[in-house]
Structure 1
Amino acid sequence: MDYSPPPLFKQGAPARVKVTVFAILSLTLLVVDAHMHVLNTVRQVAATVLYPLQMAALMPRDAVSSMGGYFSSLSSLQNEVRDLKNQQVAQAQAMQQAQLQMAENAHLRRLLEAREYLPVASIMGEILYDARDPSTRRIVLDRGTRNGVQLGLPVIDNAGVIGQVTRVFPFTSEVTLLTDKEQAIPVQVLRSGLRSIAYGRGRSGLLDLRFVAPDADIQVGDVIVTSGLDGMYPAGLAVAKVMQVEKVAAGAFGRVVCQPLGGIDRNRQLLIVMSGAARAPRPAEPPAPPVHGASRRNLPKMDPVPVPPLAAAPLPAQGLPTQPGANSPAGTGAAAPAAPAPAATVPAPAGAQHPGVRPAAAPAATPPAATGTPPAATGAAHPAAPPTTTAAPAAKTTATQPVPAPRKEGA
């Protein structure tokens, strides 16, 4: 039986001999290549032939390294994009703030220019917030009584009228806008000079000119300014622009709709016109006339009208009738004023009146008979009293005392 190893496992030359032979061969090739450079061509051919095998062997390594680079670059790109977005937001906010400041600066410049042309003093205020009541058109400013703000002062901007101060507090004030339903302002058409009153329309933000005649000289595009008749708004401030004119032939009044020119819903800084200092005082009202039926104690006293005394007319002879024209001047026959006839009877008791004649308002202490002269005539001729022939006791007769002539009704 053969126990020898198979041919595949036969060792041949010993391993030490092989190592020694190959080491000597390598050293020889190194020396020859270093001195004669005969192996460069062989090396290039071997590198060219082995390059595909080398690349195939390096592919796993390159794949692993590229995968790591991909994930690292993706993370770095994400961080960079986040930083850029934050920077963009910050720059956008800064740009918006800069634009807001530029717009505010331009608006303030316009306010200062408008302030120079105002005939009265004014102060600048900033809007803090809107009023709490949503049904009204009001705003709150950061100026109050400590800054000299009073009730009724107008509020404007560079374009026109905004409203009027309706409530004042120490540090703030409430302004009712021009478009509020309870707000009215006297205005005037700049082109034609027609005066009217503008009323607010509430949330619509428009104005109405009420009680305007249908044939009034108003056109679309006319500018409405303050008339200054109320003594609060200075005259000539721009208010609105006419948008719509409706002339109804059958109605008594027309309809005019206007658009406010001021930045009611846009601007934040406003001017409070201190018009109270420049307003002239109102003239004193004349005293009211006395009311019918009022007490006479408050009426002024009237001075008595002096009446000159008249000369006594000559008395005719007793028992002789009066001849017409006897005492007329120059014997012309003109009717002379009749003289009172002497009374031959007892004088009439107090309170006796002639029929149809009002008694004379004479004091009771001094009757006309005691003065010896007849009262002043009123210019109307009275008929002479006929002489009386009735006999009376001598003790009770007054033949020498004339009876006063009766006064005419209404004298």
Structure 2
Amino acid sequence: MNYDVIIVGGGAAGFFTAINLAEHTPELRIAILERGKDVLSKVRVSGGGRCNVTHAEFIPNELTKNYPRGEKELKGPFHTFMTGDTMDWFDRRGVALKIEEDGRVFPVSDSSETIINCFLSETKRLGIKILTGHAVKHFDQIEEEWTIETSQGTFTATKLMIATGSNPKIWKILQDLGHKTIAAVPSLFTFNIKDSRIKALPGVVTNASVQVKNSKLSSEGPLLITHWGMSGPAILKLSAWGAIELNKNEYNFEIIVNWLQHYTQEEVLEMLKELKNQYPKQQLYTYAQFDLPKRLWQSLVLASGIQSDTRWADANKVQFRTLSEQLTRGIFKVNGKSTFKEEFVTAGGIDLKEVNFKTYESKKYQNLYFAGEVLNIDAITGGFNFQNAWTGAFIAAKAIASKE
């Protein structure tokens, strides 16, 4: 089958490329090849099934700071197409979006099906062919034409877009063509921690700062205690920034948790002394301090060797020193990771030096383009990975259209 443009990968970046390209140049014959039986599966599970479309950061240089890999390369592209453009794009297609308090952007419907239906209706309207069950086995450029061999036949196209995310088979084909790829390691994962201090606290959330011991890696924000350890934005951000380093450590390391975020141990020690003077007859255990969740405060009090019936007046210097340490410098042993829901994100992909970020075209092959997570670009959680997909797909579509 002959097409003008073939897009390998039926995910966010693939569909966004196809739709924008078909709108620019309606006469083009465009096909999306998807190895699975369903398209847009990652869109469906994003944001707990609500689809976290993007993030409400409207300054390009600030937006790039959310990308552990790709920060420098995305500065130019984000000046061309970023958050506001994404929101406008969906608005013009009848998809109303909303900004939540933490900056995440979702469809007003709170359903990823709204985004999926938008994409499917647009591809149908524009005559874009969607071919599922087509696993790509090989592709190569012969003279000026790409030949793509799949599990259901061979296709040809003058232009080829790879939007397959972290598909190892596709990476191997690209390596055989001479492209360098950075090995994939997991990003966006939670920490497995077995510790008596948090064992009975699943569901507790509080703002904290977290640092990997003997490392410069640190993060802060909401931390969620789970049945298996710790999660929440503070942990997920740390996992993204530390994806390569933590992988080298085989996910066995220690973290230092400051449950009070910015207070030092010495500052907390002084505050505990003040509380002792203020509430001498009150039991420490009974009332949570420092705006901490009650169950967390009580757990840390007991971990400090202070009995539940100890009054503030009876607590000694050693107990206060231990409690101040538990509050600001609690050390927890991490032993393994868990994938963050179904939203599996990897660090790794096509070496960014081999891509022209004005067009998202390969520097090694003409008419070969990349978008989304197939590139060595990844972000923290919050809609940033999708924004990378939309931006790359839009710019690539525009570049391909300009050649026609």
> Radius of gyration: which is bigger?
1
State the TM-score, normalizing by the size of structure 2.
Answer: 0.19
Structure 1 or 2: more helix by fraction: 2
With normalisation by structure 1, the TM-score equals 0.19
